[in-house]
Structure 1
Amino acid sequence: MHCYRHPDVETGIRCARCEKPICPQCMVSAAVGFQCPDCVRGGSGTGHAPHANTPRTIVGGRVAADGRLVTKILIGINLALFIAVRAADPRLVDQLDMIGLAYSDELGIIGVADGEWYRLVTSAFLHQEAAHFVFNMLGLWVIGGIVEPELGRIRYTALCLLSGLSGSALVYLLSPANQAALGASGIVFGLIGAWVVLARRHRYDMRPVLIFVALSLVFTFARPGVSWQAHIGGLVAGALLAYAFVHAPRARRALVQYGACGLLLAIDLGIVLARSAALT
C-alpha cells in the first residue's frame, strides 16, 4: 500500500485513529502508535516530534528501511544450497532432505526418526530442480515483499521458520516414512496464509487474494509429485500466526504474539515426537 499523502511511497503503517496508510515522513507520535497529520491537526491525539519514537508496523514490529532484508537472506540461503547441490555435492540432497526413516546404501539408516531432526528445517531451504527453485524463490520474493514490511523483521522471520517447520512436520506425520520431500513451499504457503489475514485486516478486496489462493491449491493437488502436506502445513501455520500477530491486544501484544509462536512450536514438536515413537 502507499501513503495517502505521498502516493509514490510504499508503507506498512496505518494511522492509529483513521487507519489511513502513512509513510515515515507523515508519522506523528501519539500516546498510542502513530497518527496522520490530519488527525493531529483535528485535535484527535497528542502529537510529538515525528521521530521521537521508532515507527511501528500494524503488528508492533519496527519499520525498516529495507522491507525485504530477511527475504533476501532467505533467498540467499536457498541459492547457496542450490548451487552446492548442483555444482559441488549432489549427496547433500540425501543428507538434508525431509525423510522420516529410510535406508541409504551410502549413508545407512537415515531420517528424522533416527534422530536427524535438522532435516525438518534444512529441507525447507533445499532444491534439486531448477524450475522448483525458481518458482519458490519468485513466490518468496513477491509474497515476502508484501508480508515482511507489514510484520517487521523479527515476526516475519518467526513466521517463515515456523511455517517451514509446520510443513515439514505435516509431511513427517502423513507421508510414507521413506518418501523424501524438499523445497521452500512450506514457507511460501505460510506467507500466502499471512497475506490473506493481512489483506482482510486492511479491508482490501479479497477476491484477487482468494483467487490466488485457490489457484495455488489447485496446483498443489493437481500436479503429481507435489508435497501437498508441506503446502497445507505452511498455509495453516502462516495464517494462524498472522492472525495472532494482527489481533493481539495492544496491552499484551508481545505476550500473545510470541506465545502463539511458542504454542505452534510445541504442536510441531509434539507431532514429531508422536510420529517418531510410531516409527521406532
Structure 2
Amino acid sequence: MDDNPNAPVCYRHPQKETYVRCARCDRPICPDCMNQASVGFQCPECVREGQKSVRRPRTALGAVGGSGMVTKTLVGINVAVFLLGLVWAASLGGVGNVLGGDTTPLHYLGSLWAPPYSDIVVEGLGIKVSGVAGGAYYRLLTSMFLHYGVIHLLFNMYVLWVIGQYLERELGPLRYLGLYLLSGLGGNVLTYLLADTGASITNANSWAWTAGASGCIFGLFGAMVLINRKLGRDMSGVYVILGLNLVITFLPGTNISWTGHIGGLLTGLALGAALAYAPRANRAMIQTVAFVGVLVVFVGLIAWRTSTLNTLLSSIT
C-alpha cells in the first residue's frame, strides 16, 4: 500500500511520517525528536528555549554553583609547575641537580620532602626578600605555586582538592578564585613584612626564601570556618584539622613559614566575613569592596616594606 502523500512529516526528518505535534509550536515531530513534557511532547528547539527561561538554583551564599573546574585547574597548575621545576633543575646540571648528586634510592626517598632541586626553582621564583625589594614583585604570586618536594606538594593538593571543591560550589568560581589568590598573597605579604633580615642585612643574597600554596589553603580554611558557622553546619572536623595544622606550623625544627600560614588564615577570615555575612540586598557590592579593599591594603604594605628595606640598604652601603 502506498504511503499517504498528504500525511504530515517531521519538520527535522522529512522522510518520517508522524501525527504527533509539539505541544508548544505545533510542528510535527517524529519519535527521535520527541521530548516528554508535563503535557504532551516538545521539539528540541522548544526544549532549549524553555531551559533558557529556567533560573538556575543558587546556593545560600548567592552563587549559581561551580563544577569544580577552578579547583581542578589550580591543582593542575601546581603539579605542572612542580614537574617543570624538575626539568629546569635537570637542565641546569643533570640528575645531580635534582637528587643532589647522590642518586641512590635511599637518598631519593629522603629527599622527597625537600630535594636539592627545590632550591634552584624556589630561589628563582620564591619569596626572596632581596628579590621582591629589588622590584621582582611577581615572586609574591609565583611563590604560591611552588613546593619543596613531593610530600609538600601532595599534602597541599589533597587538602585543596577536598575543601576547594566544596567552597567553589558554595561561592561560585569567581569569588572562590579571588579568595584563593588573595589568601596566598596575604600569606606572602606577611612573610615579606616580617622576614628577619637580622645580621644578613649587609648581604641581601643570604636572606631566606619561602614558597608553597599553604597560605592559600589556610585562607580557604579561614573562610570555611565563617561560612559554615553562618550556614549552621557542623564545624568539629574543620576545627580539628585546622588546629592540628596550626600546631604543626609552630613545632620547633619544622622550618615552616608560620607567616605564610597565619597571613593566609587572617586573609581568609577577613574575606570569609564578607562572603558569609554581607546583607543579601547589597551582597555583590559589599563583597567587591572587601576584595578590592584587601588588595589595596596589600599593595600599600608591599610598597611601604620595599621603601623601608631600600632605605635601610642605602644607609649601610
The alignment's TM-score, normalised by the length of structure 2, stands at 0.67
1:253: Cα distance to partner?
1.1
Q: Which residue of 1 aligns with 2:59?
A: 57
2:206 is equivalent to residue 176 of structure 1: no
Identity %: 43
Q: Which amino acid aligns with 2:226?
A: V
Contact 2:227–2:275 (8 Å) recurs in 1 = no
| Deviation sequence 1:11-48 (CA, Å, 0-9, x none) | xxxxxxxxxxxxxxxxxxxxxxxxxxxxxxxxxxxxxx
Partner of residue 151 from structure 2, selected from 128, 131, 146: 131
Distance 1:51 1:210, change over 3 A: farther
1:87: Cα distance to partner?
2.5
Secondary structure of 1:222's partner? Answer: coil
| Deviation sequence 1:111-160 (CA, Å, 0-9, x none) | 11000000001000011311111111111111112211111100000000
| Deviation sequence 1:73-105 (CA, Å, 0-9, x none) | 11111111100112333543222101111xxxx
2:149 is equivalent to residue 140 of structure 1: no
Aligned partners of 1:78 and 1:63: how far apart in 2?
23
Q: Which amino acid aligns with 1:199?
A: N
Distance 1:94 1:248, change over 3 A: same
Distance 1:195 1:51, change over 3 A: farther
1:204: Cα distance to partner?
2.0
Q: Which residue of 2 aligns with 1:75?
A: 75
Partner of residue 243 from structure 1, selected from 273, 293, 300: 273
2:135 is equivalent to residue 122 of structure 1: no
Secondary structure of 1:183's partner? Answer: coil
The two structures, once aligned, show a CA RMSD in angstroms of 1.7
Structure 1's unaligned 5+ residue stretches are 1-48, 102-110
Asked which structure has the greater CA Rg, the reply is 2
Secondary structure of 2:129's partner? Answer: coil
2:269 is equivalent to residue 230 of structure 1: no
Q: Which residue of 1 aligns with 2:217?
A: 188
Contact 1:54–1:63 (8 Å) recurs in 2 = no
Secondary structure of 2:61's partner? Answer: coil
Bigger CA drift: 199-208 or 184-193? 199-208
Contact 1:62–1:153 (8 Å) recurs in 2 = no
Aligned partners of 1:78 and 1:208: how far apart in 2?
26
| Correspondence 1:68-107 to 2 at 5 A | 68-89=68-89, 90=117, 91-101=120-130
Contact 1:124–1:164 (8 Å) recurs in 2 = yes
Runs of 4+ that moved beyond 3 A: 89-92
Q: Which residue of 1 aligns with 2:304?
A: 274
Aligned partners of 1:237 and 1:170: how far apart in 2?
10
Q: Which residue of 2 aligns with 1:162?
A: 182
Structure 2's unaligned 5+ residue stretches are 1-50, 90-116, 198-206, 311-317
Q: Which amino acid aligns with 1:264?
A: V
1:51: Cα distance to partner?
6.2
Contact 1:100–1:176 (8 Å) recurs in 2 = no
Contact 1:86–1:128 (8 Å) recurs in 2 = no
1:181: Cα distance to partner?
0.4
Aligned partners of 2:63 and 2:234: how far apart in 1?
25
Aligned partners of 2:124 and 2:249: how far apart in 1?
25
The alignment's TM-score, normalised by the length of structure 1, stands at 0.75
1:199: Cα distance to partner?
1.6
More helix by share: 2
Aligned partners of 1:222 and 1:160: how far apart in 2?
25
